[in-house]
Amino acid sequence: MSESTDASGKNGTARVAVVAAGVISPLGFGLGETLDSLRAARDCVTAVTRFSVAQCRCKTAGQVPDERLLAERRKCARPQRFHRAAHMMIRALAEALRQDAKFKPELTVIGTTSGGMSYGEDYFRSLHLHGDLRRSPTWIANYPAQKPVVDALDTFGIRAPCQVIANACASGTNAIGHAFECVRSGRYERVLSGGYDALSELVFVGFDSLQASTPEKCRPFDRDRTGMVLGEGAAILALENLDTARARGAPVLAEITGYGISTDNFHFTQPNPSGSGPRQAMEHALQSAHLSAHTVDYINAHGTATPFNDAAEGKAIGELFGRGVPVGSTKSMMGHSLGAAGAVEAIVCLLALQHQFLPPNINFHAPDEDADLNIVANESRPASLRTVLSNSFGFGGTNASLVMQKFEA
């Protein structure tokens, strides 16, 4: 919680509770499996099987297995037409609604970067090769970024308006942050938020061609890091005015208390080496939460394991927080799920607060001389956590940070 003592919060703003959550990612299906993987420091990055990577440097990614993902699709209306991203959204939303069936959202805010990208690939590949276009209506209809969200909402009869935020790799965090501000402002009582992205060949090959992806292990903040690996997933958080949630007896899993954004305007694919963008986003999140840097107990870093990103973020964290706060990137375990990353990592922070442990930064061997950080290296460990910070930074210098706190009545 912030320093405010009443449920309305400081300056007449409402406090914002997380009352339900759902997730699907390479770490597992649901909160329980995700928690188990985090505690076990499980490496969930595997060889890519969905398309050929023979000509790519990188041959691995964090993947959600189709055999499990599609096992329950027969329960959906016309499931064969849904993109697999829609099935991820449906599974994540189903888990959240099981926790709180009475949650009735007034708005949905979801972050993503690619939508049904692989259906677009199928369409243009068939068009170019003069192939069979009989499935083109399905491909085109399921290509837009909002379609997986609409499919998930329709599956559960939810009619709340949908907003999609596409702001590079900060999309998921921006979506949750926007939803947080919608509730805190008093304009809405209940908002669904989160993010999704599904692995696609075009995006995979694009990152590989930029030489941002690694042919080795993903090693965030390691001195010898050589790049990122991609991932996929979906995560949903149900946000509600704290007073309203408690009045109806809803479970309060945690509070979101701060959100900050900034833009570097330095380079399309590289952050400002000074770390000014990430630092401003973290400072604004702390100011939003009415907290000082020394109150943060854990930072879930963006930590892509690319040389430039980790250097800039590490510099910003070091200058703002010093070496005391534990820092880790769970992308080491599941890859970078782009628009979904901030939402999935918000779930990681939620689990860390609920179960009082530090998620691990695996594959870490040697500290970077230019970033003096307290890395949660290779193993999870118990900790007393009250306040955590989650970072998401993307192409174009877009930066976003969230503050989440343990709920104390």
pLDDT at position 6: 45
One of 169, 182, 218, 349 is an active-site residue; which one? 169
Domain count for the chain, please give it: 1
Band (162; pLDDT cuts 50, 70, 90)? very high
Would residue 365 show up in a list of annotated catalytic residues for this protein? no
Find the domain containing 59 and state its range. Answer: 15-405
Would residue 302 show up in a list of annotated catalytic residues for this protein? yes
Phi, psi of 126 (to 5 degrees): -65, -40
One of 87, 284, 290, 336 is an active-site residue; which one? 336
pLDDT at position 2: 39
Which whole number is the average pLDDT over 106-134? 73
The beta strand positions in 123-232, using DSSP E, are: 162-165, 190-197
Band (119; pLDDT cuts 50, 70, 90)? low
Instruction: Kindly state the percentage of the chain with pLDDT values over 70.
Output: 89
Would residue 169 show up in a list of annotated catalytic residues for this protein? yes
Give the tens place of pLDDT for each residue, 337-364.
999 999 999 999 999 999 999 999 999 9
Band (71; pLDDT cuts 50, 70, 90)? confident
307 SS3 class: helix
In eight-state DSSP terms, residue 133 is: -
Q: What residue type is 191 in one-letter code?
A: V
Is the per-residue pLDDT at 11 higher than 70? no
Within a domain: residue 251? yes
pLDDT at position 121: 64
Beta-carbon contacts of 122 under 8 Å, excluding residues fewer than 6 positions away, are 135, 139
Which whole number is the average pLDDT over 102-106? 97
Which whole number is the average pLDDT over 78-96? 88
Are the beta carbons of 155 and 77 closer than 8 angstroms? yes
Q: What residue type is 47 in one-letter code?
A: A
Structure tokens at 73: 């699709």
pLDDT at position 82: 87
Within a domain: residue 156? yes
Within a domain: residue 166? yes
375-376-378 Cα angle (round to 5): 115
Q: What residue type is 336 in one-letter code?
A: H
pLDDT at position 5: 39
Band (190; pLDDT cuts 50, 70, 90)? very high
pLDDT at position 1: 42
Is the per-residue pLDDT at 79 higher than 70? no
Within a domain: residue 1? no
Within a domain: residue 6? no
Q: Which helix (H) or strand (E) holds 20?
A: strand 16-25
pLDDT at position 409: 77
Which has more pLDDT, 266 or 403? Answer: 403
The CATH number covering residue 337 comes to 3.40.47.10
One of 83, 87, 302, 349 is an active-site residue; which one? 302
pLDDT at position 3: 39
- Listed in sequence order, the DSSP H helices in 185-241 are 201-209
Is the per-residue pLDDT at 129 higher than 90? no
Which whole number is the average pLDDT over 56-80? 81
Band (396; pLDDT cuts 50, 70, 90)? confident
Band (83; pLDDT cuts 50, 70, 90)? confident
Within a domain: residue 4? no
Are the beta carbons of 103 and 248 closer than 8 angstroms? no
Within a domain: residue 96? yes
Within a domain: residue 7? no
Band (77; pLDDT cuts 50, 70, 90)? low
Which whole number is the average pLDDT over 54-73? 91
Are the beta carbons of 30 and 22 closer than 8 angstroms? yes
Q: Which helix (H) or strand (E) holds 404?
A: strand 398-405
Instruction: Kindly state the percentage of the chain with pLDDT values over 90.
Output: 77
pLDDT at position 4: 38
